[in-house]
Structure 1
Amino acid sequence: MLTRLTYRINAALERHLPEQRLFLKSDTATRFIRLRPMTQALVLGGVSLVLAWSFVATSVLLMDSISAGSDRDQSARQQALFEERLTALSTDRDLRAEEAARAQQRFNLALAEVSAMQARLLASEDRRRELETGIDVIQNTLRRTIKERDEARAELGRATAALSSQEGSKGTELGRARDALATLEIMSGALGTTARERDEMVQMANRAREDAADIQRQKEDLQLRNDAIFARLEEAVTVSMEPLDKMFRAAGLSPDDLLDQVRRGYGGQGGPMSPIVSTKGGALSPDEARANVILQGLDRMNLYRLAAVRTPFFNPIPSGRYRFTSGFGYRRDPKGAGTRMHSGLDFAGSYGTPIVSTGDGVVVEAGWGNGYGRMVKIRHDFGIETLYAHLSQIHVNEGQRVSRGDRIGDMGNSGRSTGTHLHYEVHIGGRPVNPMTFIKAANDVF
């Protein structure tokens, strides 16, 4: 049955692949090898499969090479945009801080001017009250004097009538009349002087009222300017704090807990701003209350700045010459040991690429680690640690304090590794977390 099937296949292929014979001649005999149509078809099929496999493998390699090149270009562009945004945000942050300082100075000057104007206003108000009291006294005296003058004139008329009827006592009554006239003249002069003083006092009171009205208008204008300054300061503080608050929350950290720890461990890098206290010993005015809120916001921004420096938000390879080769989570072991947990990020790059600290801290390990090769571990504040593995060189020692951006080693291929790269880990409370959370959280701020 098999021989008959083979015969039929050879007969069908005979038209396209006729039977071939390969002769082999020696000194004593001549032999030949018969190549049947089915054999030729099998050989041609095998050659075609080899050629097709070679074409597919070459295409895959070319596509991988093109993809790797585009990834590097995209990574370079993203790094350039990252650095540009970092520079712009740093500049804007400095401008905001400078503007806040200038606004604080202007606010202090405005408060001093308002206090001086209030003192002058109170003094002018007291002077006006004194003038009004004096005017009332003068008016009462003038009324009393006018009344006495009228009574004296009436008495003079009666005395003159009596003199006409009594000639015997003419000399005595005439003397009395002359005395009354002299007294009346003295009183009239005093009344004129009093009237002039009253007019002067009224003019002074009017001028005092006008000065008080001017001072009130100046006070209202100053209040409007203060409101505008406060509004800009409150807006600047809010706009500056929102990205920082979002950055810490995106990294899975509680901003309030971090700020409490910074307050407890304040290390001589400035200090919290003291609140404004009422100079009168009573309740704060609305402006003083708003100023206290702004000062509290500035103090919170300062604490945010200290917490951000001490937290590993920085990129361990600031040059940007790398590409991500493995993320955080379970993966197939590159050494063929099955599926295992990968507790960090892998950055592939050139041998000797500088590696920097991602935050302020203290080096707790610097040497050879099992599986990690040459590695550095840094302890930061808030229970956070970072680990940098597979280094070619180490530039720090155990116990050394480092700052964010300090060079701690060079990229290498030491330890259990399949190529030149950096293995970067972040631990919180001894538990590994995804470092990409910190890197992405800082993209909108730094």
Structure 2
Amino acid sequence: MSQTRPSAVFGKRKEPHTIIIAHGDDIRHFTIRPWMAALCGSVLAAVAIGYLLATSYLVLRDDLIGATVARQARLQQAYEDRISALRTQVDRITSRQLLDQRLMEDKVAELLDRQEELSERNGRMLPLLEKATGAAAGTSDIPIPPAKPEVRADIVLSNAYAASGVANSAAAALARITSRSPAIQGESVSVADRADLIFVTINKSLREIETRQIKKIRTLTENAYKTADTIVSALESAGLKIDETYGSSDAGGPLVPISGAETFDSEVEELDEALSKLDNVRNAATKLPIANPAPGRVVTSGFGVRRDPLIGKPAFHAGIDFRASVGLPVRATGAGTVSRAAWNGGYGRMVEIDHGNGLTTRFAHLSEIKVSDGQTVEAGQLLGLAGSSGRSTGPHIHYEIRRNEKPLNPVKFLKVGKEIGTLL
């Protein structure tokens, strides 16, 4: 074995390890350097660590796999829960939208039904109003709803406006409501909320139309009864009775309030009854001799005792005389039937009209007769022309009213005719 050289460095020097292997005559030796020892130690440590890690993995593999699967399961469950929550929210929103749409459609249908009812009421009212006013032009102040609009899902609100005929007022009311309430300004108000505000305004307008219709009907009913009573009272003041039972019927019973459609039907029936009664009174009044046979002409001789113009002695004058020139039209003062149209002694050419119930009128001293016996005449119809035939001192119209051949003072009848002339 060779000797190593002494180190030139001061102090001891660490010698490398030498491994000697002897086998018989064969002797081998190996010198182990420090780096070789470190390398071997590192390899052994790495093998030991790898062995330990592999052993730990094999031991803990099931736990690690289970934990990973559980984590993935938790993530999947959370994802599914989130999807389910979102689906539930979508379903709730969809259901709310469907409910709002159905609610809007129901409200629009209700509005259209009410509008149709108002239109039907208007159809029932028009004949009565024309009957009450005598002309269709008199119904211009009656609230009339528009024609029924077409219902479409994409223009529900537009049709809701059109159904009431008050779109402008509804829109204005909605604008006022929105401007007054900060809680409903901006986009926070849903379509359903806006529709509710519009429907409330439209319903209010429809109720106002219904109220105006009923109020107008009641006004017409009161006016019809008042007109009929005025005509009857005026005729009775002249001794003319149209109906012995008029205004004397008894009535009574418990109070049973009515509302809604029954109120309208009841008011319409009442108006129809009032108009029928007024028509009956008017028809009866037109048959009575209450018109003036010579409008605008001066009465030259009154009813009763007077000085006879021919002999100058007091005598009874059974009628009144109107100053008239020859050829002036003489017209009937009431409807009736011509009972006599011929020469009648001192009356000269005379026309007598039977008005029924024993009431007759006579037109004497005519220059020409324009009607014949048995002819039916209406009030204001031409009977003849004024003249001076018969016992007369000059052209004039002699007019008499008789009841059961008893002469009556025509002045009372003329006064009544003047009072109620505009009511007939």
TM-score normalised to structure 2 length: 0.49
Quick check: which has more Rg, 1 or 2?
Answer: 2
The structure where helix makes up a greater share of residues is: 1
TM-score (norm 1): 0.47
The higher-RCO structure (CA 8 Å, 6+ apart) is 1
